[in-house]
Amino acid sequence: MSTPPDDRDPWEVDPTLVRNQGALTTSEGTVWIASAAVAAALVGAMLLALWWQLGSGLALVGALATVALLLVMIVVRYAARRRRTRLATLAALFWLMVLADFGIVLAVALGG
């Protein structure tokens, strides 16, 4: 006995595609906030340690920017109505935070 052919577009049902991942389709956004909070705590502590040890103002600015981005993410989590828009915005803000922190740590390490 064979199964009837599936009339749906294979691109729409493929669970391995990024656009079909649960974190971008079914989540409420809490997972992005939790991930960002862990990253912010770790990176923020490192940036504060760099500021404390090296006296780098850039590290302090990076720590404050990290906290600010985390707060923006929390506001977006509760203010955005449409799920897809909310999740895409949270993902973009998370990666902005990670990449900005990486750039700041590199700049401090290189003596900036």
Cβ count within 10 A of residue 97: 23
Residue-range domain boundaries for the chain: 29-109
Higher local confidence (pLDDT), 94 or 10:
94
Higher local confidence (pLDDT), 94 or 21:
94
Q: How far apart are CA 57 and CA 35, in angstroms?
A: 26
Alpha helices in the chain (DSSP H): 10-13, 22-25, 30-54, 57-79, 83-109
Q: How confident is the model at residue 55 (pLDDT cuts 50, 70, 90)?
A: confident
Q: How far apart are CA 32 and CA 38, in angstroms?
A: 10
The string of pLDDT tens digits covering residues 98-108 is: 999 999 999 99
Q: Mean per-residue pLDDT for 70-79?
A: 94
